[in-house]
A and B are shown apart, each in its own frame.
Chain A
Amino acid sequence: MRFFELIRFALGAIIAHPMRSILTSLGVVIGVAAVVMMTSIGLGAQQRVTSAIAGLGSNLVIVSPNFQRGPVSQGAGGGFSLRDGDVEAIAKQVENVAAVAPVVRGQVQLAAEGANWNTRIEGVTPDYLTARDLTIAGGRMFDEREARQGRKVLVVGPTVARELFGEDDPVGKRVRVRTVPFEIIGVLETKGQSGFGQDQDDLVLGPLSAVRSRIVGRRMRPDAVQTIYVKSTSADTLDRVQEDVINALREQHRIRPGDDDDFSTQNMASILQASQAAVATFTVLLAAVAAVSLVVGGVGIMNIMLVAVTERTREIGLRMAVGARRSDVLIQFAMESVALSLVGGIIGLTIGVAGAFGIAKLGNWPAAVPAWAGPLALGFSMMVGLVFGAYPSWRAARLDPIEALRRE
């Protein structure tokens, strides 16, 4: 009851100087808006990284050659330490594996019906679709036999199909890769842009042996592969699979215990974790910088509250003379400071949310305003008001009524 009356006094004082009140809370407005915007941007980044990594395929162990090993360069392409034999070893020895997919990559110029397109080519086996979570939109994927035989067939990404043939169905069309003619037998389902900003539809897939021997393999051993994707049957078995892959490859490469691997493995789950942790750290950092401005806003409020206490010394004395307790004065001024800060918080939250959506729209950035942004922003601004209003309110409450009434 009495508390609400004290809040009424506080609001009355704020309304009495609208311009000053707005300027006072401006610091908190900026602080809260910055915190909300920064966390939203950070959260958006986190979602983007997550989807980018998920786009690589789920439950994957990625095996790559380790170029760091050996003091002497082994010549162009000689660094590829992975072989077809490794793929077979993994397929035979490691359990809980859904797919083992070796890959060689190259950048090539395609030519068909007068159109040209430069794109990424990947020499793969049919398992590659399973490993990378790709699907065929039209036509078909080449089978094991075609892959083994090195048939000159291609499955193209939607971007390549569009660039070379426009709206026409590319299936059955012929295309020259560098100078080698290939037949297109299938089109991939679109995957759109990756989280890293790369067009995931701009590639062609060919049988591993054909691509290796005719396109990219001129500089490497005939059985070399660049990357092996191993997909586990479930997320739970991923770590086991990674361990088993390492053991199988060490055995295959005859690496003595204690020696370093000549390959490296990355586990999708740990990549995801690591990058999410990185982004989270980044977000906290951004928010912390923004929070500094919130503190600056609090100092601004404290400053004006001290001015208000000085200005209204006589009012405080009079209130005490007519029966206000020191606690009444304390609460009145504390509420004034909290209200100033809270108004700033509400305005800042509005600006922050609008800003986050604005950035999302203009910057093509998936800024995500977290649901807890509202309560957190308001809670924080209330706290700022309390903390920075504490000293001025205490000063007001400690005034001697006789002195205060005498003040001009």
Chain B
Amino acid sequence: MIEVRSLRKVYTMGGEDVAALAGVDLDIGRGEYVAVIGPSGSGKSTLMNILGGLDRPTSGAYRFEGEEVGGFLDDELADFRRRRIGFVFQSFQLLPRLTALQNVELPMIYGGMAPGERRARAAELLERVGLGGRMGHKPTQLSGGQQQRVAIARSLANRPDLLLADEPTGALDSHTGEEVLKLFHQLNDEGLTLMVVTHDPDVAAEAHRRVAFRDGLIVSDDRRVPA
């Protein structure tokens, strides 16, 4: 599904070029569950941003289902994110003014789905992450774990091909973190491709494949048959 070839991303900082990605090759197949690990500044977040269509590579190829995403224009990238990608962030990134239901509806609004249809789907998704009774709550009325589950429901709204999670448990205690990971497993079992960027070895251990980064390069790529 994903083909990355000699991907480079260079930032200019204080007149000096810093390569966040220094030539990365990576293939991810449909239905994989990949953890990306490595110290801060190793380039794993940059990779996630490029794979998610939030950023463009400096050079190299990024093909998604055969499409050359690296050369997309702004609007094409926006449409790519909307149709193909679901994001889960460490800090949830829910809009505080909106209810849980409205937050989940948001991606579908940009997709142009009719109000009745998207409301029904948002409700179904919240039901699915176990928040059927909390649809009208604002983010501030929800616990961290609940907020992250709303965010996961939102990421699934437009039936993405790839779910990208950046330290999804980083702001949660271990118990609620486990709930989120359990949800990820369920989603992966249903065929969703997942990529989780994390520091946490326990989180990484959940994945079927661990890709380790250091200084903008992949240093190990370790596959494990699911237990």
Is A84 located at the chain interface by the 8 A CB criterion?
no
Of B54, B82, B154, B157, which is within 8 A of A401 by CB?
B54
Q: Confirm or deny: B71 has a beta carbon within 8 angstroms of a beta carbon on chain A.
A: no
In the bound complex, do residue B78 and residue A324 qualify as a contact, i.e. CB atoms below 8 Å apart?
yes
Contact A318 B83 (CB under 8 A): no
Given A321-B87, A323-B83, A325-B78, A2-B93 contact (CB < 8 Å): no
Q: B49, B93, B97, B107: which contacts A12 (Cβ < 8 A)? A: B97
Q: Quick one: which of B68-123 are within 8 Å of A by CB?
A: 74-75, 78-79, 81-83, 87, 89, 93, 95, 97, 106-107, 109-112
Chain A's nearest CB lies how many Å from the CB of B90? 10
Residues of A within 8 A of B79 (CB): 323, 325
Which residues of chain B are near A315, meaning CB under 8 Å? 95
User: Is A318 a contact partner of B93 (Cβ separation < 8 A)?
Assistant: yes
- A322 and B106 contact, Cβ closer than 8 Å, known pairs A327-B75, A401-B54: yes
Q: Give A267 to B221 CA distance when docked, in angstroms.
A: 100
A323 B97 Cβ-Cβ under 8 A: no
CB pair A321 B93 closer than 8 Å: yes
**Smallest Cβ-Cβ distance to A5: which chain B residue:** B109
Complex: chain A residue closest to B96, CB-CB = A315
With the chains together, A310 CA to B106 CA distance in Å?
Answer: 21
Is the CB of A16 closer than 8 A to any CB of chain B? Answer: yes
Q: Of A314, A324, A401, A402, which contacts B110 at CB under 8 A? A: A324
Residues 311-334 (chain A) with a chain B CB within 8 angstroms: 314-315, 317-328
Q: Collect the chain A residues with CB atoms within 8 Å of residue B87's CB.
A: 321-322
Contact flags B152-170 to A (C-beta < 8 A → 1, else 0): 0010011000000000000
B49 — nearest CB in chain A belongs to which residue?
A: A402
* Known contacts A2-B110, A402-B55; A314/B75 CB under 8 A: no
The count of chain A contact residues (Cβ–Cβ below 8 Å) is 23
A387: chain B residues within 8 A (beta carbon): none
A354 within 8 A of B: no
- Shortest Cβ gap from A210 to chain B (Å): 88
Nearest opposing residue in chain A for B93, CB measure: A318
- Select from chain B the residue with minimum beta-carbon distance to A317: B93
| Chain B interface (Cβ < 8 Å from any Cβ of A) | 49, 52, 54-55, 74-75, 78-79, 81-83, 87, 89, 93, 95, 97, 106-107, 109-112, 154, 157-158
| Ranked 3 nearest A-B pairs via Cβ | A323-B82, A322-B107, A325-B78
Residues of chain A at the chain B interface (Cβ within 8 Å): 1-2, 5, 12-13, 16, 314-315, 317-328, 401-402, 405
A-B contact pairs, 15 of them (CB 8 A): A1-B112, A320-B78, A320-B81, A321-B87, A322-B110, A323-B78, A323-B81, A323-B83, A323-B111, A324-B82, A324-B110, A328-B110, A402-B49, A402-B54, A405-B93
